[in-house]
A and B are shown apart, each in its own frame.
Chain A
Amino acid sequence: MTEALLQAIISGLAVGGAYALVALGFSITFTTTKTLNFSHGEFVSAGAFIGMSALFLVLGKPVSSTTFGDAIPGAGAQLLALVAALGAMGLLGWLLYAIGVRPFAGRPGMAWVMSTLGFGVILQSIGLAIWGPKPVVVPAPVGDAVIRFLGVGVRPQELLTLGVTVAIMLVFDRVMNHTMVGKAMRAVAANGSVASLMGINTNAVMIGAFVVSSALAGLSGFLLAPIAQASLFMGLTVGLKGFSGAMIGGLSNPRGCVIGGFVLGVFESMVNLWQAQWREVAVFALVILVLAFRPTGLFGKKMVEKV
């Protein structure tokens, strides 16, 4: 029983790490531009598939193949794929901002909800046209040998996901609080027009926010693919749960978002242990419960509208 519980906690933490990356992405764009990427989930899938295509290319297979067969890409190939995924996702984020968000940001009516949603649908249909709906098994960069300790089996990819996530969070926190770039981002978040009066290029900061946010989504997909198989439909639920994590933690607080993501991952994994089909329902019930008592999340600041 304890082993099963421990197992659930560890895999919950690993998946929670992926959620935390997504949640952080939501938080970054929300605080700087007051918009959210409603196709963040598709961006997660896109990250997985771009990484996968890079691996195919390195292995000399056509991009549109749907299986690795026996080929195992080496560490160099994996690293190259990671860089390709992050770079391509950053570009996608910039594109999304330029055509989907900037024309609508700051205007009433939330038209950006539709445009970002549409962007995601386009991405997904392009993916479907190339790879079809079937999921692809992706080899893990650190092998598939299960590590055992205390009677619990852990896949190295899970540990890797957890480690990378924690490292990214620490770096991000450091950048936000101790560098000029971070200060500029927080200034734009606090008041964009005043920030631009102080000589901060708000447009560049906003583009940066979308680039970083998309790259984080891509990283999340890249790390998840070997754990859960790469699928064009994997993103939607990951994206939603990332957002749920952000809501639990408080969208305006990056650290809260990260904690929320981890909490959600572990919670989901626990419910899964008990009744698999109630997993999604339980997760969203938790979110609604949190919102009912703390509409701005556990660590979010209370918002007051000036009358």
Chain B
Amino acid sequence: MKQGRHFVAVALVAAALIGATALFNNDYYLRIVFMMCVYYLCAAGMNVLVGYAGQKSLGQAGLFAAGAYAAALLTTRTEMSPWLALVLAAGISGVCGVLIALPSLRVKGPYLAMVTLAFGIVVEKLVGEWTDVFGGAQGIYGIKPLTWNGQPFTSVQWVWFGIVLCAAAHLLLRNLICSRFGRALLSLQADEIASSSVGVRVYRAKVIAFVVAAVTCGIAGALVAQQNQYINSDFITFHLSIFILLLVLFGGAGSMYGPLVGTVILTLVDALLARWPSAQHFLYGFLLLFALYVMPGGIMGLVSQWFQKAKKAGLAAGGSAAPTRIGPDGSGELLVVQGVSKSYGGVKPAQDVSFRLQRGHIHALIGPNGAGKSTMINMLTGVVDPDQGSIRFLGQEIVGRQVHTICCLGMGRTFQNLRLFADLSVLDNVMLGRHSRMSNGFFSSLLSLPQARRQEVATRERAIQLLDLVGLSHLAHQPAGSLPYGLQRRVELARALATEPQLLLLDEPAAGLNPQETAELGQLLVRIGKCGVSILMVEHHMDLVMSISDHVIVLDYGIKIAEGKPAEVQANPRVIAAYLGVDDDAVAAT
């Protein structure tokens, strides 16, 4: 069992470190090791936020302060046990993490980075200036340290405790990152819209990442306060926030051991330069400015470039290419669109459009450029809200529902301009599709409970089956972005199928494919239709549309001008007029 081996290895390393620290009797060295543990805790959580979720937080000092001051106030103002205070401090910083994550509901990118920066500064000002509670520069004395058998920890015991915490943090976060949550975080870093279209609850995933980073940072802060038995506002500076960020970026954001490498090196450098604070800051600034330029993946990025291991080639072909069942059989109305309108100023991509989609059919939505086809797909999947009208899917009204909810109901989609998670492997892309069908929760993933592991195995098998279906199983471990365009389209199709859709929306699936590939795609779509998936595709290749669809809907300037069997539609004079224009004489004649 791979997981078991890793656990034993980490336990052995931790034990060896504990043994080694028992040997050296120098308080200064012990202090450095302790600070490494503290910073590693910060960095490990921060890596989840920065490296995996791709959110820049520039205010970790604020969360560090939340933990430190929570522990300080709880143990000095009440008779609380220091152990309980440590746990509560972690909880309180977690709550602060939620507070920082709240703006991420509305703002993104640089705005959010600036909001986190502001949070750090506000906390810094608050602990510095609100002296009645936080003691300002004078600080809070007499914080109760952690105890063992009624005795306060000795320096060596503090280090041991730190090492144990770090090992635990590493194991837990590794579980989390290797689970569906880790994949979901990576996906939202790459493309939030695609991520929610495969059923990832983007906002919730971001909050989880912020809380993870907040809790580890809070524990680190509480440890420092309890070990020093003293905390003041000088601990909480903007430079601390930068240092924590740098630990991750320098070591290698998004790699499992990056934070460890960054922490060990930078803590040592920090200790060596402690006498010259301005040189320290200069170095951090310098690293921030140039490290990313020279090594975008941090030290671990460089190392893995040197030791690029030969990737496992191919998988054991997943057995039969027999069509796998995806959706239920049956017939009847799957989706009912009634009187839907949408306008962007003067442009009206949908005016009072109504149509019905039948279960088990392949429907096509066609129309000249600008007819409002993509907008229709976006309204059906919840990316765009219609101004008016109702959309009922499986008997439920879905207007105003969120993208991931609609996906969970059983509607999958692909995009006109491919939205694959380019850095993730083909297999991971498809496994992400099944995110919403996995039932293992956060804590079950964090602790890697048997249920979570079973789900993971099942998802992997399913993904390989689907890759077989689209004929890509030999490329499963390649990064999706490295595939040729035509194959990327198929990966996206497999990803959409992994969401177990009853209705599959395809936005120009044949765009950019040559005639040979288009014909293959047609066969594939028919095969998919036989698996119990109904299809609505937007397409310009008329041969494809006419050869495989059961029912065609034609839009022109947001108005439905015709629908019916392919042959009927082809003969419809309004359709011909929309595509080819009308002869003035012909108009006069009619």
Contacts and interface: CB of A to CB of B under 8 A. Distances in A.
B556 to A, nearest CB: 21
A291 interface: yes
Which of B125, B130, B383: most chain A CB closer than 10 A? B125
B107 to A, nearest CB: 6
A19 interface: no
Given A118-B288, A122-B286, A291 B103 contact: yes
Contacts of B245: 114
Contacts of B284: 118, 121
Contacts of B113: 38, 110, 113
A307 B374 contact: yes
Interface in B264-289: 277-282, 284-289
A114 to B, nearest CB: 5
Interface in B238-295: 238-239, 242, 245, 249, 277-282, 284-290, 292-293
B129 A117 contact: no
A119 B415 contact: no
B285 A281 contact: no
Contact of A121 (B56, B103, B242): B242
Contacts of A203: none
A110 B109 contact: yes
Nearest to B121: A240
Interface residues of B, number: 51
B193 A100 contact: no
Given A125-B278, A288-B103, A307-B415, A118 B287 contact: yes
Interface in B88-136: 102-103, 106-107, 109-111, 113-115, 117-119, 121-122, 125-126, 129-130
A192 to B, nearest CB: 17
Nearest to B292: A111
A270 B426 CA distance: 57
Nearest to A116: B289
A118 B289 contact: yes
B357 to A, nearest CB: 21
A117 B246 CA distance: 11
Contact of B122 (A104, A276, A284): A284
A247 interface: yes
A57 interface: no
Contact of B292 (A30, A115, A305): A115
Interface residues of A, number: 46
A67 to B, nearest CB: 20
Contact of B278 (A119, A128, A240, A243): A128
Nearest to A276: B129
Contact of A125 (B54, B103, B282): B282
A118 B211 CA distance: 26
Nearest to B419: A307
Nearest to B249: A114
A194 to B, nearest CB: 19
Interface string A94-114: 000001100110000111011
B324 interface: no
A277 interface: yes
B289 A240 contact: no
Contact of B110 (A104, A110, A276, A281): A110
Contacts of B115: 287-288, 291
A118 B242 CA distance: 9
Interface string A266-301: 000000000011001100100110011001000000
B296 interface: yes
A124 interface: yes
Contact of B121 (A123, A237, A304): A237
A291 B107 contact: yes
Interface in B402-419: 415-416
A204 B163 CA distance: 53
Contacts of B56: 110, 113-114
A145 interface: no
Contacts of A114: 56, 245, 249, 288-289, 292
A114 B277 CA distance: 20
A25 B113 CA distance: 18
Interface in A114-155: 114-115, 117-126, 128-129
B122 A281 contact: yes
A287 B245 CA distance: 24
B58 A117 contact: yes
Contacts of A27: none
Contact of B282 (A122, A276, A277): A122
Nearest to A115: B289
Interface string B193-236: 10000000000000000000000000000000000000000000
A244 B293 contact: no
Contacts of B129: 276-277
B289 A284 contact: no
11 contacts: A109-B296, A115-B289, A121-B281, A121-B284, A124-B285, A125-B282, A129-B282, A281-B122, A281-B125, A305-B193, A307-B384
The 8 closest A-B pairs by CB, nearest first: A118-B288, A121-B285, A118-B289, A122-B285, A125-B281, A125-B282, A295-B106, A128-B278
Given A118-B287, A244-B118, A280-B126, 12 more contacts: A100-B289, A111-B293, A114-B288, A115-B290, A118-B284, A121-B282, A124-B281, A125-B282, A247-B111, A288-B102, A292-B106, A305-B193
